[in-house]
Amino acid sequence: MELSRKQFDVLEILAGQKEPLRQRQLEGFTDYSLGTVNRVYNELVNWGFVSDGIITPEGLEALEPYRVKRAVFIAAGFGTRLMPVTLNTPKPLVRVNGKRIIDGLIDACIGIGIQDIVIVRGYLAEQFDQLLYKYPMLKFIENSAYNEANNISSAMCARFLLANSYVFEADLLLNNPKIIKKYHYSSNYLGIKKERTDDWCFKMKDGYISSQQIGGVDCYQEVGISYWNEADGKKLAEHIKQAYETPGGKELYWDQAQFGIFKGEYKVEVRECDEKDVIEIDTFNELKSIDKSYNI
Q: pLDDT by residue (tens digit) across 180-221?
A: 999 999 999 999 999 999 999 999 999 999 999 999 999 999
Write down the pLDDT at residue 232.
97
Strands 188-205 and 50-51, by their bridges, are unpaired
Regarding pTM above 0.75, the answer is yes
Tens-digit pLDDT profile for residues 216-246 = 999 999 999 999 999 999 999 999 999 999 9
- Give the residue from 194, 72, 220 showing the smallest Cα distance to 139: 72
Q: What is the pLDDT of residue 118?
A: 98
CA–CA gap between residue 209 and residue 50 (Å, rounded): 33
pLDDT attached to residue 295? 84
> How confident is the model over 129-156, as a mean pLDDT?
97
* Digit-coded pLDDT (tens) for 56-113: 999 999 999 999 999 999 999 988 888 889 999 999 999 999 999 999 999 999 999 9
CB-based contacts of 96: which residues, under 8 Å, 6+ apart? 173, 281, 287, 290, 291
pLDDT tens for 1-32 read: 799 999 999 999 999 998 999 999 999 999 89
**Region for residue 3 given its phi and psi (left: phi exceeds 0; alpha: psi -120 to 50; beta: otherwise):** beta
DSSP code per residue over 53-83: TEE-HHHHHHHGGGB--EEEEEE-S--GGGT
Q: Is the pLDDT at 140 greater than 80, yes or no?
A: yes
Q: What distance, in Å, lies between the first and last C-alpha atoms of the chain?
A: 59
Q: How confident is the model at residue 54 (pLDDT cuts 50, 70, 90)?
A: very high
Give the dihedral sign, CA 245/266/168/204.
positive
What pLDDT, on the 0 to 100 scale, is given for residue 66? Answer: 97
Model confidence band, residue 143 (pLDDT cutoffs 50, 70, 90): very high
What's the rounded mean pLDDT across residues 108-133?
Answer: 97
User: Helix H segments across the chain?
Assistant: 5-15, 23-29, 34-46, 57-63, 101-111, 152-157, 230-245, 256, 284-290
What's the pLDDT tens digit per position in 149-171? Answer: 999 999 999 999 999 999 999 99
Distance CA 151, CA 200 (A): 15
Residue 282, pLDDT above cutoff 90: no
How does pLDDT run across 174-188, given as a tens digit for each residue? 999 999 999 999 999
- Please give the Cα distance from 89 to 110 (Å, whole number): 24
